[in-house]
Structure 1
Amino acid sequence: MDVRRADERYQGGDPAAGIESRHAFSFGPHYDPDNLRFGAVIACNEERLAPGAGFDEHPHSHTEIVTWVVEGELTHRDSTGHESVVRHGDVQRLSAAGGVRHVERNDGPGPLTFVQMWLAPLRPGGDPSYEVVHGIADSTPYAVPEAGAMLHVRRLGAGERTAVPDAAFAYVHVVRGEVRLDGETLGAGDAARITDAKGLEAEGRTDAELLIWEMS
């Protein structure tokens, strides 16, 4: 298990424009050949947008983009005609496939924080697609078969436990609160990269929210 702390993330974004980004993997000008991916995950970005701030239209291709809103409202528009407002509890997925352009903005009244995870597809190309699952229930797995991956959203109370799926690769990201995992205490923004995960449990030290990727 390789634990990466929140304060070890690469700092990015454009603070003058109301955008603060923290990257868990090699990203943009923060190139690190030893930190390019883990399993299918090639990016896990924490984004903070001030009201009115956002990312203007930009392209993606050959990437599965899954977004989890921590607080606030994320407005999404893309070149295939989809427009959505995504809130906490919703899972948003944009399958960029052969190519798509999109806009992400904070058009809400308060600050916006979201975690965006990029996964490499098993096969490139195809047609782009978009989906939002509103108010996903605790412990309901969300499959991304294009990347051979499954997302598990877990909300724990203090003292409550959840199994980490047995998998070739498991990526555990703490959204909020504090958990204990295999002898390590993880706080908000911390992540664990686990190879050949087997028989592991995470325990809430406080009320906590976790995103767990199970990858083949």
Structure 2
Amino acid sequence: MLQLRPSHTLDGGDRGWLKARHHFIVSHNGNPANHSLGALIVWNDDEIAPGKGFGRHPHSDMEIITYVREGAVTHEDSVGNVGRTEAGDVQVMSAGTGITHAERNDGDEPLKLFQIWLRPRRPGGTPRWGTKRFPKRERAGRLVTLASGIVGDGEALSIGADARVLAATLLSGQVVEYRIHPSRNAYLAPSRGAVTVNGQRVATGDGIAAIAENNLTIEATEDAEFILVDAA
């Protein structure tokens, strides 16, 4: 089953410095149709104004993956990590037993990012953070795994969840296939352009959930880039 989540069905808000859309329900008065998918519980599409960001705040027992769409995010945390992740690249934070962190836009242009939260396989563990470059030429016309908690996923950033996060950059008309076990779930959102997923059109701002599907055929209807999460 495919469930299209058009942008107008997503919850969100505008705080001035932060414009947010929530692909998954995050409050009791949100859209109940946009429920979580197994370990995948949050997918926020955020735009953060220059010079603004999230101050120090805590997390525990959560795997948080940030894909930067435009601009760059600066990260600082309570275990001594400081870093900057630029457009097209990914950072991962395993909150483990507990961590506080801040994220901000130190640039002159709006920062746009996807932030994805996954429940870990098991609670606890040592908090950690990492970032990695993923040049677009490496995912041109094909899917590349950015972060994964599944054995055998090579050089992807490691996470503690039974999930993988993938990306592809496609020219108009290009097609990629992704096999998924029907016991697992998947969610896809374009970061640029538009694609069809098994014939259903998904444009920037939209998302689509795949439940009990065996195969996803993803075709770019215009030059596009998308993120795909496969989670138990």
TM range (shorter): over 0.9
The within-5 A match list for 1:90-169 is: 90-136=89-135, 137-138=138-139, 139-141=143-145, 142-145=147-150, 146-167=160-181, 168-169=184-185
What corresponds to 2:231 in structure 1?
215
The within-5 A match list for 1:1-216 is: 1-15=2-16, 18-28=17-27, 30-31=29-30, 35-136=34-135, 137-138=138-139, 139-141=143-145, 142-145=147-150, 146-167=160-181, 168-216=184-232
Unaligned runs of 5+ in 2: 151-159
SS across alignment from 2:212: strand
1:120 & 1:72 partners in 2: Cα distance? 27
Is the 8 Å Cα contact of residues 148 and 161 (structure 2) preserved in structure 1?
A: no
Q: Deviation per CA, 1:63-105: give whole Å up to 9, x if none.
A: 1000011101111111111111111121110001111111010
1:206 & 1:89 partners in 2: Cα distance? 19
Runs of 4+ in 1 over 6 A off after TM superposition: none
Give the superposition deviation at 1:29: 6.4
AA partner of residue 106 (structure 1): N
Is the 8 Å Cα contact of residues 164 and 197 (structure 1) preserved in structure 2?
A: no
Give the superposition deviation at 1:197: 2.2
Q: Check 1:104–1:13 CA distance in 2 against 1; reply closer, same or farther (3 A cut).
A: farther
Unaligned runs of 5+ in 1: none
Is the 8 Å Cα contact of residues 10 and 31 (structure 2) preserved in structure 1?
A: no
AA partner of residue 221 (structure 2): R
CA RMSD of aligned residues (A): 1.6
User: Aligned residues, how many?
Assistant: 214
Give the superposition deviation at 1:28: 4.4
SS across alignment from 2:8: helix
Task: Give % identity.
Answer: 34
